[in-house]
């Protein structure tokens, strides 16, 4: 049976429950589901780090809005 973390109620659910749009998972264990938000934070931090490294490799400068200066005016600005 799979475990889920309900993001609306902050409760762990086993099996069928709330719609998938309202929960994270599935997880193999109840403990993994209880730690779902920690896992989300870990993944977001890692992706942010990877994005920063990738953006640094592009060599593009950022303007005050955080936009690539190379794309300045590309949208008709």
Alpha helices for the chain (secondary structure H)? 30-34, 36-58
The two three-digit tokens of residue 64, written as one number: 């005050």
Number of domains in the chain: 1
- pTM, full prediction: 0.62
Whether 73 is covered by a domain: the verdict is no
> How large is the C-alpha radius of gyration of the chain?
19
Q: How confident is the model at residue 65 (pLDDT cuts 50, 70, 90)?
A: low
Whether 35 is covered by a domain: the verdict is yes
Share of the chain above pLDDT 70, in %: 73
Candidates 37, 9, 6; CA nearest to 20 is: 6
Share of the chain above pLDDT 90, in %: 57
Whether 32 is covered by a domain: the verdict is yes
Whether 72 is covered by a domain: the verdict is no
Whether 62 is covered by a domain: the verdict is no
Whether 64 is covered by a domain: the verdict is no
Q: Which domain holds residue 7?
A: 3-56
């Amino acid at each position: 049976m799979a475990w889920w973390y309900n993001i609306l109620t902050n409760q762990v659910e086993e099996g069928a429950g709330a719609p998938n749009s309202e929960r994270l998972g599935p997880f193999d264990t109840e403990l993994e589901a209880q730690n779902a938000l920690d896992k989300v934070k870990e993944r977001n931090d890692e992706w942010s780090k990877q994005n920063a490294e990738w953006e640094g490799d592009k060599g593009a400068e950022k303007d005050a809005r955080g936009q690539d200066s190379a794309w300045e005016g590309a949208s008709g600005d």
